[in-house]
Structure 1
Amino acid sequence: MLSHRRRAATVGSLIAGALAAGLIAPAQSASAADAGVRVHDIQGTTRISPFAGKQVTDMPGVVTAVKNFGSARGFWVQDPNPDRDEATSEAIFVFTGATAPAVAVGDSVLVSGTVTEYYPGGEAAGGQSVTQLTKPTVTVKSSGNALPAAVRLNAAAIPARYAPDAHGGSIESLPLKPRRYALDRLESLEGMRVEVVDAPVVGATSEYKDLWVTAAPRHDRTARGGTLYGSYGDPNAGRVKIASLLPYAQHPFPVANVGDELSGTTAGPLDYDNHGGYTIQATELGALADHKLQRETTRKQRNDELAVATYNVENLSPKTPQAKFDRLAGALVTNLASPDIVALEEVQDNDGTTNGGVVDATQTLTKLTDAIAAAGGPKYLWRQIDPVDGKDGGQPGGNIRTAFLFNPARVSFKDVPGGDSTTAVKVVREGGKAGLSASPGRVAPDDAAWTNSRKPLAGQFSFRGKDVFVVANHFNSKGGDQGLDSRFQPPARSSEVQRLQQAKLVNGFVKQLLAADRNANVIVAGDLNDYQFSPALKALTAGGALTDQVTRLPAKERYGYVFQGNSQVLDHILTSRHVSRVDYDIVHINAEFADQASDHDPQVLRWKP
C-alpha cells in the first residue's frame, strides 16, 4: 500500500498531466471545490445522471470501500454532507479498470472524471445502469476519516410496492419515488453504505460466493424460512443479495442454507449487477447462525399405492462425477422411498457436452440405475427416446431429454413399437379404453412449439391391473426474460409465449386420452419452468383436464426451486380427474441448500387406484 504522501504525489502528477493537456480545469481551492459539483448532483433524481457523458472536476467525498480484485476494480466515494432530497444518492463508484485503486478506506478525496452509465451484462439485457466515474484522477486530502453512517434496510425502509408500472417501458426517466417503490428506494441508495441486521438467509450460498437475505423477514415466509414467490404482483421487495469485498483468506464467505441467519450487522456499499440486481458489497459480514435445516424424507408408498415422482437431475452424463450419481441414487432410495415410476429431466447423452453427434443415453441411465441398486434401491428399468442431435436445447452437445425409470417388481410398461424422435404419438381406442400408438412416444415433436426444447415423452404403465398414462415434460427455459429488477416494468416474459403453446399441446393430448376414456388415469409430470399461477399452467389445466397438485398444498409449502431469494414452483405433477384422493409431496433436499445434487427439489405423488 502506497503511503498517503506517495499516493498524493502520484495522483498529483496525473492531474498535472491532465492540466497540461487541457483535459480538466485548473485545481480549485478547497472552498471553491466544496461549492462545485457534488455526488448528489451527479446522481440526480432519476436513474440516469444529468451529467452522463460529461467531465466533472474535484467532486468531494470519503472513500467507503475499495474493490481491489478482478477486471472491474475501483472504489466507492460517499459525500458526508448530504442534501435534503431523499431521491438523490450520496455515493458513486469510481471505476479504475484493471488498475488497483490508489486510495484507502477513510481517505477524503477530490475526484475528477467522466460520468458514465454502465449496464452490467450489456444494455440489451434489460437491467438497470450504474452511475459511475471513469478515467478518474484523484487527490487525497486526508486519511483516517470517519465513514458516513450506514442506512439500515428493513421492512420500514423498503416499500412493499416493488416498481412503478411503465406498461413495459423503461422507468429510467421517471422521477425516483423512494417512499413508494422498492426499486426506487434502492436506486436512491446506489453506492451508499447500507446495512442489514440479523438478516434471514432466503437464498443459499452459491458457487459464486454470494447469498440472498431478506430485509422484510415477516413477509411471505415459507414453512422452512425462505421467501415465497406467490404472484407476479409481489416479487418480495425485501430481498437483497450479499457479496463480499473482504479478503477471502481472512474472512471466508459463509456457507449458508435457507433458514440460516447473518446475525449482527452486514454492511457495505449498495451495488447493482446483472445477476439479481441490488447487492450489498460487504465490508462487514454478520456471523453465520446455522439453524440446522434438514433435508426431508417422504414416506414409503403402501403396497396398494402407486408412487410417481419427477426429478430434474441437472445435466447428468457419464462425465458427471460419481459422487453426484451416488447422491441422486441415495435421494431416490432414501428421501423419495424408491418411487415406482420416476420422470427424469436433463438426462444427457453418453458423451455429455462433447458435440460429437452422439445422442444415445444408455451409459448415463445405466450409471444411474446401477447407483440406485448399489444404494439399496430396486433395479430400475428405463424407457426414453433419443432426440435429434442438437434440436432439444440445453447445454450444447448434451442432447438433454426426459426419461422414465420404473420398478418392474411393482409396475409394468406396455411397449408399443413405433416411437421415435420425430413421429407423433397418437391416442387410440382399444377395447373401449384409451391406448397409445407408440409407447414410449413423443407428443407432437414436429410442432413449432417444441423448437429447441424437449419434447414430452408419453408412456403407458400398468399397476395392479390398472392402466396409467404418464407424460414426462421439460418445457422451455426462462432464458431471455427480463429480470424482476429490470429497467423495463413490468418486465417482459418473452419465453412465456412458447411455454403457453407447449402447455396447450399437452392439454390437447390429455383431452384426447380422456375423450377415448373419460376415466383414463393420466399423470403429467416434470419441469414445466413456470409457476402455478402462470398462463402456461392455466392453459395446461384448461377445461378441467388436469389438476395441478401444487395448488392443493398449503401456501407456505408451494415451492421446489429457489432463485434470487424467491422460493418458487417450476416442477409440477398434474392429474386427470379420475386420479383423485392423492398424497402429494415436494421433498426439499436441494434447492434450499448450498450443497446440492441438483438445483431442483424432487416431487412424489402417491395414489391408490
Structure 2
Amino acid sequence: MMSSTTGRARAAGLTAALVTSLGVGVVGASSAVAVPSTGVMIAEVYGGGGTSGATLTNDFVELGNAGSVAAALTGWSVQYLPAVPSTSTVWQVTPLSGEVAAGGRYLVREAAGSGGTTPLPTADAVGTIPMSATAGTVALVESTTALTCKTAADCAGDSRIRDLVGYGSTAVVRETAPTANLSNTTSGARPALTDTDDNSTDFTVGAPTPTTSTPPPPPPPVASISEIQGTTRLSPLDGQRVSGVTGVVTAVRSFGSARGFWFQDPTPDVDPATSEGLFVFTGASTPGVQPGDAVTVTGTVDEFYPSGTPTTSVHPSTTELVGASWTVESTRNTLPTAEELLPGTVPEDFTPEADGGSIEALLLRPEEFALDFYESREGMLVGITDAGVVGPTTSFNELIVTSKPQQNPTARGGTRYAGYDEQNGGRLLVTSVIPFSQRPFPKVNVGDRLDGLTAGPVDYNAFNGYGILATELGTEVAGGIQRETTRPQRDNELAIATYNVENLDPGDPQDKFDRLAEGVVDSLADPDVLALEEIQDDSGPTNNGVVTAGVTLERFTDAIVAAGGPRYLWRQIDPVNNQDGGEPGGNIRVGFLFNPARVSFVDRPGGDAVTAVAVEAGPNGKPRLSVSPGRIDPLNVAWSSSRKPLVGEFVFNGKTVFVVANHFNSKGGDEPLAGRKQPPSRISEIQRLQQADAVRAFVDDLQAVKADANVVVLGDINDFEFSPVVSRLTAGGALVDLITTLPENERYSYVFQGNSQTLDHILVSGRLKTVDYDVVHINAEFFDQASDHDPQVVRLKPGN
C-alpha cells in the first residue's frame, strides 16, 4: 500500500470495482500503475511458529523502512485479522514503539506454539497474537485502536492503514490479490522493499528469515585449542566467546553433574607450553559425541576453579569451554597418540615458586617443573605403561600411580614424602570415564601395578591434584605386599603402641570393630599399653549432647577378647560437648587401653575435661601426676577445637612410666601441594606448634623433677618427622622420635595423595632404653582398610 494520501486514494479506486459481501471479495481488473512506496511497510509475515515441523518457536511480523530517514513507530500498531472474518471477528492489536532506521528492519514477535527449537532474534516489539500458519491478514496501522473493516474495500478507505498484507489464497482482506499459501515452515516476504499494492506480486514464499533492528553480533573469533590454553595457567581468552575450535574427541564423561567431553588438536603447534587438549563442559546433559568424532566447537572460555572463586580458591583452575555448541564433521577418526610418561619425562623439580603468591601468571616451563609439565598437557592424552601403584584404591574409585618408580621409593613399593621440597612429581591420580559396567574400577594396593597402558586426558582434582581420566586401564597385577605382624614382647619388655582407629563409634559395623581388634591381637601382639586416637562418644556423630564413650570402648575391648586377646581396661576423660574438634556431635578423644595382667594404672582422682594435670615431687623425690589420668593444660588456646592430650601414670615391673597420648590439630586448611600458591602455606601448623610447646613444657616439668624419668609421648601428631612441630618436641634431646631410627624407606604410617608419610609418632625420653620399634603396616597401603593409619609399637625396658 502506498505511503502517501494519493496512494491511498489510488488504492481506493482500484477496489471500487469489487463486488463485496461480508467476508467475500472478488478483485476486478485494473490498469492502474502502482508507484513504489518510500516509507515503512510490512516486509515479512510468518504464522507457523511453534507448530508441527516448525523450527522457529514464535510467529512474527517484520517491518522494513525503504525511506532515507528513520521513521517513528510510537503510537502505531501491527494488527491481525483471520483470513475469512465473521461478523464477530475483531482485529487483534500489538502496539509498537521506538523507530525503524532508514533502510532498517523492525521485528514484532507474536504468539509461541508448543513446538519449535529456535527462538527468534531479540524482538523490537512483543505481542501475543496467534496467527494462522496458512492464511490471514496483517495491517500496519498508524494507531493502536483496533480496525473495524472486514472487506478489502472498507480497509482501503481507512486512512490509518499504512500497509496491508493478505497472505494465503483464502485471505479476504488484501491488496489486489493475496500471496500464495504459506505453511508451518514458510513465510511471505518481500524480496525487495517495494510496494505495488499487489500482495501476490510483492511477496514470495520461502523459509522464514526474521531480522531484528539490533544488528546481530559479529561471529565469535576463530581460535585454536592452543591459543585458548595459552602459555600460562590462565587462558588469554578467558571470558570470551570463540568459534571454529577444531579437534578430535578423545574422551566423554557421560555421568554425574559435570558431564562433557575432551577434544584434542591432532596438528599441534610448536610451543611445548601450550596444551592441545580442552574440556567442553555440558553440565548435567550428556554430550552426543563419541571418541573419534572430529568436531568444530563454539563456546565461551572459562577458568573453572574446583573450590572457591578466582580470588579465594587454593586450587588452580581448569580451562574449559562452557555454553558450547558443536558440529560433528566426521566420525571414527584416529585418536591422537597418548604421550607416554617415562621415568625421565616429568621434571624432578616440582614447582616454581612465587614467594607464597599465585603462580598462575607465570610463564609455563614444562621442561623444568612437574606442575608446569602437567598444566601444559591439560586436557591432552597421556599414558603410563605398567604403572606402579603408590596410592591404593579408595571408596571414590580412584588410585594413584607414579611414572617415576625410583623417586623416593619405600620398601614396599610406595613413594615416600621425604621433605617439603620432595613432593614426588611422578605421582598421578587415576580415575575413569569408562562405565563401570564395561570395566570395573581396579582394586589395588600400594606395590601393585596396572599392566599395559593406562591412558586418558590430564585433569586437575581438588582432592588429589593432577591425574589421568582413564579411557584405557591396565590390568591389575598384585605386587605381593602382605599385612605385617610384630613380635610379642618378652616378660621384661613393656610394649606401648599407638593406633588411630578412625572415628570409631557404636554405629560402626561389627566388622570394623573385629578388624581393628584383630590388628591389636594379631598384628600388634597384644601390647601392654595402647593409646587410641579418634574414639567417638556413645552416639557417634549424632549431635545430641552425649559425651560418654563407655559403649564404644566396651564394644572394642569385647572384640579384642573375641579375637583371642586379653581383657583390656581403659582410661579416658569425657570432653566438654563439641569442644574437641572432629565430627560435630562425635566428641572425639584419645584414650588408653592397658592389659592389667601386665601393667597397672595409677589412678588419682580429680581429672576432668578442664582440669590441668600437674607434675608433683613424690615422697621419694620422684615425679608423680596430680591427677591420673589427666589432661595437659586443657584451657590453653592451643587446644581450641582440638583433642586434648591425655597423660597416664603406669607401673611396669615396679617402675613408673608416664605416657602422653596425643592427637594434634589436623592439616585441614593447609594449601595443597599442587595448589595455585607456591610454596603452599601450612596454616594449620601454627596451632600444632603451640600444642607441641604445651606438651614439651609438660615433659620438661617431669624431667625437672627427675632427669631420667620414663616418658613416652605418642599418637597422631599430624606432622612429619622433618617438621618444625616434631622439632619442637625433640629439641635438645629431651625426646627421641623413633621413626627417625628406621631406614628412610620405612619411615611412614599413612598414605596421602600417593605420598607415604609419617603422621603418627612414638617419642621416648632420651634415657629410656628402647629394645625395638616397629611401624606395623596393615592399613594405609591397602584398599581394604580398617583404618587409614598404620599402628606403631615400641618395646622398652624402663629405668629406675
TM above 0.5, one fold? Answer: yes
Determine if contact 1:590/1:601 at 8 Å carries over to the other structure: yes
Question: Which of 394, 406, 412 is the aligned partner of 2:594?
Answer: 406
Matched with 1:86 is: 272
Say whether 1:605 aligns with 2:766.
no
Say whether 1:581 aligns with 2:770.
yes
Any idea what SS the aligned residue of 1:541 has? helix
Q: CA deviation at 1:333?
A: 0.6
Q: CA deviation at 1:105?
A: 1.0
Q: Distance in 1 between matches of 2:556 and 2:437?
A: 38
Matched with 1:484 is: 673
Say whether 1:56 aligns with 2:242.
yes
Any idea what SS the aligned residue of 1:46 has? coil
Q: CA deviation at 1:391?
A: 0.4
Determine if contact 2:770/2:795 at 8 Å carries over to the other structure: no
Matched with 2:10 is: none
Any idea what SS the aligned residue of 2:698 has? helix
Q: Distance in 2 between matches of 1:86 and 1:420?
A: 63
Opposite residue 266 of structure 1, the aligned amino acid is T
Opposite residue 608 of structure 1, the aligned amino acid is K
Question: Which of 25, 42, 61 is the aligned partner of 2:228?
Answer: 42
Say whether 1:103 aligns with 2:289.
yes
Determine if contact 1:348/1:364 at 8 Å carries over to the other structure: yes
Where does structure 1 differ by over 3 angstroms across 4 or more consecutive aligned residues?
Answer: 12-27
- Which string of whole-angstrom CA distances, capped at 9 and with x for unpartnered residues, describes residues 6-51 of structure 1? xxxxxx9779989989776459xxxxx9xx4100000000000000
Say whether 1:208 aligns with 2:396.
yes
Say whether 1:131 aligns with 2:319.
yes
Opposite residue 256 of structure 1, the aligned amino acid is V
Question: Which of 374, 399, 407 is the aligned partner of 1:186?
Answer: 374
RMSD of equivalent CA atoms? 1.6
Opposite residue 733 of structure 2, the aligned amino acid is G
Question: Which of 501, 515, 520 is the aligned partner of 2:690?
Answer: 501
Question: Which of 418, 425, 428 is the aligned partner of 2:613?
Answer: 425
Q: Distance in 2 between matches of 1:113 and 1:242?
A: 28
Correspondence list, 1:385-396, <5 A = 385-396=573-584
Opposite residue 311 of structure 1, the aligned amino acid is Y
Q: Distance in 2 between matches of 1:15 and 1:55?
A: 20
Determine if contact 1:260/1:291 at 8 Å carries over to the other structure: yes
Matched with 1:350 is: 538
Determine if contact 1:342/1:404 at 8 Å carries over to the other structure: yes
Any idea what SS the aligned residue of 1:596 has? coil
Opposite residue 298 of structure 2, the aligned amino acid is S
Matched with 2:299 is: 113
Determine if contact 1:243/1:280 at 8 Å carries over to the other structure: yes
For structure 1, the 5+ residue unaligned runs are: 1-11, 28-32
Determine if contact 1:25/1:57 at 8 Å carries over to the other structure: no
Correspondence list, 1:195-594, <5 A = 195-430=383-618, 431-594=620-783
Greater Cα shift, 177-186 or 120-129:
120-129
Any idea what SS the aligned residue of 2:732 has? helix
Q: Distance in 2 between matches of 1:491 and 1:26?
A: 42
Given the superposition, is the C-alpha separation of residues 344 and 352 from structure 1 closer, same or farther in structure 2, using an over 3 Å criterion? same
Opposite residue 541 of structure 1, the aligned amino acid is T
Matched with 1:596 is: 785
Q: CA deviation at 1:155?
A: 2.2
Higher RCO, 1 or 2 (CA under 8 Å, sep at least 6)? Answer: 1
Q: CA deviation at 1:542?
A: 1.5
Determine if contact 1:15/1:137 at 8 Å carries over to the other structure: no
- Which string of whole-angstrom CA distances, capped at 9 and with x for unpartnered residues, describes residues 555-591 of structure 1? 0000000000000000000000121233100000000
Question: Which of 154, 158, 168 is the aligned partner of 2:342?
Answer: 154
What is the TM-score of this pair, normalised by structure 2? 0.73
Any idea what SS the aligned residue of 2:662 has? strand
The alignment-based identity, stated in percent, is 58
Q: Distance in 2 between matches of 1:154 and 1:506?
A: 46
Matched with 2:125 is: none
Determine if contact 1:381/1:407 at 8 Å carries over to the other structure: yes
Determine if contact 1:14/1:137 at 8 Å carries over to the other structure: no
Opposite residue 640 of structure 2, the aligned amino acid is T
Q: CA deviation at 1:276?
A: 1.1
Opposite residue 188 of structure 1, the aligned amino acid is S
Q: CA deviation at 1:194?
A: 0.5
Q: Distance in 2 between matches of 1:296 and 1:84?
A: 51
Aligned length: 591
Say whether 1:169 aligns with 2:357.
yes
For structure 2, the 5+ residue unaligned runs are: 1-115, 123-209
Determine if contact 1:109/1:142 at 8 Å carries over to the other structure: yes
Any idea what SS the aligned residue of 2:779 has? coil
Q: CA deviation at 1:165?
A: 1.1
Higher-Rg member (1/2)? 2
Determine if contact 2:770/2:794 at 8 Å carries over to the other structure: no
- Which string of whole-angstrom CA distances, capped at 9 and with x for unpartnered residues, describes residues 492-511 of structure 1? 11000000110011011001
Q: Distance in 2 between matches of 1:166 and 1:518?
A: 46
Q: Distance in 2 between matches of 1:193 and 1:462?
A: 62
What is the TM-score of this pair, normalised by structure 1? 0.95
Determine if contact 2:571/2:629 at 8 Å carries over to the other structure: yes
Q: Distance in 2 between matches of 1:436 and 1:84?
A: 71
Q: Distance in 1 between matches of 2:345 and 2:392?
A: 24
Q: Distance in 1 between matches of 2:242 and 2:760?
A: 52
Q: Distance in 1 between matches of 2:216 and 2:650?
A: 77
Q: Distance in 1 between matches of 2:549 and 2:368?
A: 53
Opposite residue 560 of structure 1, the aligned amino acid is S
